[in-house]
Chains A and B, each alone.
Chain A
Amino acid sequence: MRISFARKFMPIGVGVAAMALVLSACTTGTETGGDGEAEVGVTADTIFLAASQTLSGPGAASCAPSTDAAKLYFDKINADGGIDGRTIDFEVVDDAYDPQRALANVRGFIDKKFALVGACGSATAAATYKTLSDAGMPFLFPTNGVAEVVKPAAPGVFQILPLYEDQTAALVRFGFEQFGAGDIFVVVNPLGEYESAIERARETAEQGGGKFLGSAVANLGTTDYTPIALQIKEAKPDFVVMSTGGSDSAKFINALVDQNALPAKGVLGTSSSVAGSFLNSYNEVAGPHIYFGSATQLPASADNECIQLLSGGDFANDPIAHIGCASAMAIVRAIEQTSPLTREGLMKTIESWGNEDVSPGVFAPVNFSGDDHIGLATLYIVQPNGPEFGIVAECPYSEDDSAAGACTTLG
């Protein structure tokens, strides 16, 4: 049987074409980091950034505003001429809060983008940080609550926000300081490594003279929190400690109100509840009973560039949007301070930050070092009041409870 010329050489042709595609992909976006240094995702006129974000599914409403707001800030920087003549190209792709999908997204970015902009949330950050760190790609400021992502500090992985486990401990200390010791019941969504958040709350309560009455784990997007509210009504805790997503927090709080099951002393929640999706839908009757930890000042300063940028828009009062935009400000500052612009140089810049005011009026000043990749050491305690949150106290926090100081009540 005679094989035609085309069929005979087609495999070779396909192979050559594939090789050419691979080579071109490898070189895309890899030109110069300035001063003649070659760097992935940086060309003479563009810096390529990307994010893998929860744009669909139950977490989308809470998460999407963070990258939308970051994009607004990058667009503003571009409109103002960019950073040293380079504009920012920011690509956001959906992972639907699916760790495997996030990992696939991230693998596609490693050879094309300069850095990954952190987004929601803990489970996806936990699935991707090691791949990014091993590849030497900076992973900047994810909204993450999982300890293993940043403890011990993984090269290139930096986050501004406190871990949920540190937050639950700080919140219990705040509650006990403010209202006296009491019994706690913990409710969490499995946002990454949730067991440690429950455990730290339990330890802190028992050390403070309180009792741990139990815990409940509910999937993100749970339709009916009434059974958990009934458990709490039966247990009669003094405090409910919660670490749940924005919409889920509102459903849970509303179920507590419906069942007359609000705890005697207060509901203490981590920053995962501090979202516009909560403000849009919580029962305001519960407002005076609620104390949430927040990484950002609320209300944020009107002088902050991000707040001005967001004002009048859809996300003006959404703390998640504030975090996204303020994190973008921090990224721009780090890039501005790094010359030549290389991934390694960027990491060194961030590790050198001491009391760096990256987004005044939104974040407290941040501190990083070679072995500490969590920026904030302050947790604001906020309370919802109608359509916005307001700060009621400020708590230093630490992974070592004995080292953490007392909270300061504000206003």
Chain B
Amino acid sequence: MGLYISAAISGVAVGLLYGMIGFAIVMLYKSTGVANFAQGTLATLGAFFAWSLVTDAGLPLLVAVGLALIGSGLFGALVYFLVVRPRASAGNLNITVRTLGLSLFLLAAMEWRWGATAPYRYPTIIEGEGIQIASVVLPAQSLLIAAVAAVIMVLLWALFKYTRAGLSFRALAEQPDTAQLLGLRATRLSAATWGLSAVLGTVVGVLLAPSAFLAPAMMDSYLMFTFTGIVLGGLTSLPGALLGSVIDRVISNVTIVAFNLDTGLLVVFAILLIVMLLLPQGLVGKQEAVGR
């Protein structure tokens, strides 16, 4: 039993990380109606940017991360103007496919620039022993991830729930024409959303790289499970992204130690299928968000 408890606790820690990747995707989806397939490569690019500032420019890690966050925010806005805004009337499906193209483009660019000798060892933001719960040790980096995930979730929840900007984001996503008629500045809001999404991606990239090792395709393996988690939780729900990802990883880890890795995958996707059949909006997503 101790092994299963440890595996479940470990699943919670990893699930929080997946949930953070999910935050960025859900936030953009809530605000623009676009599922951003370039979220992973934007996260990796941000992590590479910070790493370059440390290794090439000799900056301290925290300074480099700060600059990378600013840089990625600007880059996210640039992506909006260059990739999303032109011919925006083509529809969200078209824009979603554009994000797939952007992802492949960024991946190729990173392979060209950094791919030859990847992966790279990435510095951790905090060092330390971590803590032991049951027989599982939660490294300090995992504890940091949990704390950052909690802070980001609260901030985003408050943004969407209580701020004028957050309400404007939601209005723009759900009724873009009406929102513009009411005077909302769609271009500015959308650019800000893409910028914020890229910033969130960089946070994830910087936190993930010490354990995943920095490489252009670092996020590839994570994205599939991230999408599983956010669909499970509800594509329009920030807490759902977190909850779905944690459930996904806990089930996966416990099944792996009970059986094997293949069975872990099988069970996770079987549960996803069942949830989608019985609760199409996900575990905590809103009913009205489905079927638009």
- Chain A residues at the B interface, C-beta cutoff of 8 Å: 56-58, 60-61, 64-65, 68, 216-219, 221-224, 226-228, 230-231, 233-234, 247, 250-251, 254, 258-260, 276-277, 280-281, 314-315
Contacts and interface: CB of A to CB of B under 8 A. Distances in A.
Contacts of A254: 211
Given A221-B220, A227-B256, A281-B119, 8 more contacts: A56-B217, A64-B116, A224-B14, A226-B136, A227-B7, A227-B257, A276-B117, A281-B121
B137 A260 contact: yes
B6 interface: yes
A247 B10 contact: no
Interface in B76-122: 111, 115-121
A224 B215 CA distance: 16
Contact of A280 (B117, B137, B222): B117
A324 to B, nearest CB: 14
Contacts of B14: 223-224, 226
A230 B211 contact: no
B212 A223 contact: yes
B119 A247 contact: yes
A224 B264 CA distance: 13
A222 B220 contact: no
B167 interface: no
A369 to B, nearest CB: 38
Nearest to A258: B139
Nearest to A234: B3
B22 to A, nearest CB: 15
A233 B3 CA distance: 9
A258 to B, nearest CB: 5
B24 to A, nearest CB: 17
A234 B135 contact: yes
Interface range on chain B: under 10, 10 to 19, 20 to 34, or 35 or more? Answer: 35 or more
B290 interface: no
Interface in B108-165: 111, 115-121, 130, 135-137, 139
Contacts of A226: 7, 10, 14, 136, 253
Nearest to B116: A314
Contact of B221 (A65, A223, A277): A223
Contact of A217 (B120, B135, B260): B260
Contact of B261 (A217, A230, A277, A280): A217
Contact of A281 (B213, B220, B222, B261): B213
21 contacts: A56-B111, A56-B217, A58-B221, A61-B215, A64-B115, A64-B116, A221-B221, A223-B225, A224-B249, A226-B10, A227-B253, A227-B257, A230-B7, A251-B212, A258-B139, A277-B213, A280-B120, A280-B213, A281-B120, A314-B116, A314-B117
- Give the top 9 A-B pairs by smallest Cβ distance, nearest first: A227-B256, A281-B213, A226-B10, A314-B117, A227-B253, A223-B221, A221-B221, A234-B3, A281-B121
Contacts of A219: 261
A280 B212 CA distance: 12
Given A217-B261, A222-B221, A280 B135 contact: no
Interface centre among A223, A233, A276 (most CB of B within 10 A): A223
Contacts of A216: 260-261
Contacts of A314: 116-117
B260 A58 contact: no
Contacts of B116: 64-65, 68, 314
Contacts of B215: 61, 247
Nearest to B141: A258
A32 B261 CA distance: 53
Nearest to A235: B3
A251 B121 CA distance: 11
B117 A315 contact: yes
A263 to B, nearest CB: 16
Contacts of B225: 223
A227 B261 CA distance: 9
Contacts of A230: 3, 6-7, 10, 135-136, 257
Contacts of A64: 115-116
Contacts of B260: 216-217
Contacts of A217: 260-262
A219 B215 CA distance: 18
Contacts of A231: 3, 257
B29 to A, nearest CB: 23
A233 to B, nearest CB: 6
B138 to A, nearest CB: 9
A208 B107 CA distance: 48
A254 B2 CA distance: 22
A260 B130 CA distance: 12
A207 to B, nearest CB: 26
A65 B115 CA distance: 11
A229 to B, nearest CB: 9
Nearest to B134: A230
A226 B221 CA distance: 16
B260 to A, nearest CB: 6
Nearest to B215: A61
Contacts of B261: 216-219, 222
Contacts of B217: 56-58, 60
B7 A223 contact: no
Given A60-B115, A219-B261, A230-B135, A250 B213 contact: yes
A68 B221 CA distance: 25
